[in-house]
Amino acid sequence: MKKVSYIFAGLMVILMLSLAGCSSAPEKQDGNKGTSSKNAEPVKIGVLTGLTGKGADWGKKQKVALEMVQEEINAAGGINGSPVEFLINDTAGDNQQSVILTRRLATEENVMAILGPYFSGECEVAFPQANELKVPIISATSGKPGISESNRPWSFRNSMTDDKMIDAALPLFLKATSAKRFALVVDMKDAISKSFGTAVLPASLKKQSGVTILNEKEPITYNTGDIDFSSQVTRIKQLKPDAVGIGGLYQEGASVATEMQRQGLKIPVIGNVGMYAEALITQGSSAVEGWVALSNFWPDSPSSRTQDFIKRFKDAASKAGLENPMPDSFAASMYDTAMITIDIMKREKINGQTPVEEAREKIKNGWASVKDYQGVMGMTTINDVGDGIKEVYSLIVKNGKWERLQ
């Protein structure tokens, strides 16, 4: 009898161990497009954007866009069975931080690709680092001409350069305003703003018949972070222009507009991509009525893909506590940039087990061959120097809202 008891006890131990083994098996998440193991090695993608400092409004919206992508992709099975993980880093728009974080993401975090950084000045110093370390780096926003071209073959920009954008937009502005005499105002501290105001915009204006630049050799200048623009606006008035071309960012742009309104100066203004932000209207209020900015994204596009993105983004941004949940072109561009990168990974059978060097090479080659990608911004192609080709929109502030200038 005692022997039978021992045998029974032994069988019970074996059964319990077997059940324990079953319960410790990797839990899987089923989706329509495959299965993503919760214990699978994640696909790590680095991100550089500005959550503080200049452009924080843009950076916070880019973070929301990336969180949307991560949730969507992982809920649908991940990337070839592996969950995607975005390692979002705040550069605060600082060039040196972009260098440090680029190297850290590439060498310590071993990411397969880096999305960002945001500003052209950051890209000018971060792209060479990525090129040296052989990691694909893709800015969703930089617009200063020549940066990707100078850092082949690992650097890309899913954005259109300012020179191409202004050439498409300026004729519409001139037709709408009949402007002929331009004063130039430039933020000399921000790379893309300086490039736009001192080189890109003047070159485009000279192509237009009957247009005069009143101060090309001595543009009216300021620096990112300035708050008093009384002297700059006084100088604009002294030039007696009938329009202002400004290379700058939305924060200072709103302050310039407020000072223009205070001094009773009401003339058309056209700015670069740095002026397009909902925050320009929030901060500048009625003073920015009639201001025109460049963009590759039109929120009122009839595209169902675009409208669906806007609806989902506004919901996600509201939950994240953003003051203005409307997506801008830079959030849309980051969303598309992430999706293109993931699309390349899926096509190339990359997942968390793929050797990093192999994955980086495939992603680099994939970005070099992007053609007619249909995203939430519309159609995107990457040209032979690594820059995006997209549709250009001239947007004007009317009744406190961005509308398309046609």
Q: Tokens 């485009």 identify what position?
A: 204
For residues 285 and 172, membership in a common domain is answered with yes
For residues 286 and 137, membership in a common domain is answered with no
Query: Which pTM value belongs to this model?
Result: 0.82
Residue 404 lies in a domain: no
Residue 274 lies in a domain: yes
For residues 267 and 180, membership in a common domain is answered with yes
Phi, psi of 91 (to 5 degrees): -90, -15
Tokens read off for 52: 């503080």
Q: What is the pLDDT of residue 113?
A: 98
For residues 211 and 278, membership in a common domain is answered with yes
Residue 154 lies in a domain: yes
The domain spanning residue 46 has which CATH number? 3.40.50.2300
Residue 29 lies in a domain: no
For residues 349 and 232, membership in a common domain is answered with no
Residue 343 lies in a domain: yes
For residues 216 and 274, membership in a common domain is answered with yes
Q: In what helix (H) or strand (E) does residue 35 lie, and over which residues does it extend? A: strand 34-37
For residues 291 and 168, membership in a common domain is answered with yes
Give the chain's length. 406
Q: What is the pLDDT of residue 79?
A: 98
- Please give the residue range of the domain that contains residue 92: 37-160+301-390
Q: Considering 258, 278, 295, which residue would you say is the last residue of a domain?
A: 295
Tokens read off for 147: 């940066």
Q: Considering 252, 267, 295, which residue would you say is the last residue of a domain?
A: 295
Q: What is the pLDDT of residue 105?
A: 98
Pairwise CA distance, residues 235 & 263, whole Å: 11
Residue in 307, 265, 250 with CA at minimum distance from that of residue 50: 250
Pairwise CA distance, residues 109 & 361, whole Å: 17
Helix axes 329-347, 356-368, angle to 10 degrees: 120
Q: How many domains does the chain have?
A: 2
Q: Work out the burial of residue 67: count CB atoms within 10 Å of its CB; fewer than 13 is exposed, 13-18 middle, 19 or more buried.
A: middle
Express each pLDDT in 139-196 by its tens digit: 999 999 999 999 999 999 999 999 999 999 999 999 999 999 999 999 999 999 999 9
Q: Kindly give the parts of the chain with pLDDT less than 50.
A: 1-35
For residues 175 and 228, membership in a common domain is answered with yes
Residue 401 lies in a domain: no
Q: What is the pLDDT of residue 27?
A: 33
Peptide bond into 268 cis (omega under 30): no
Residue 20 lies in a domain: no
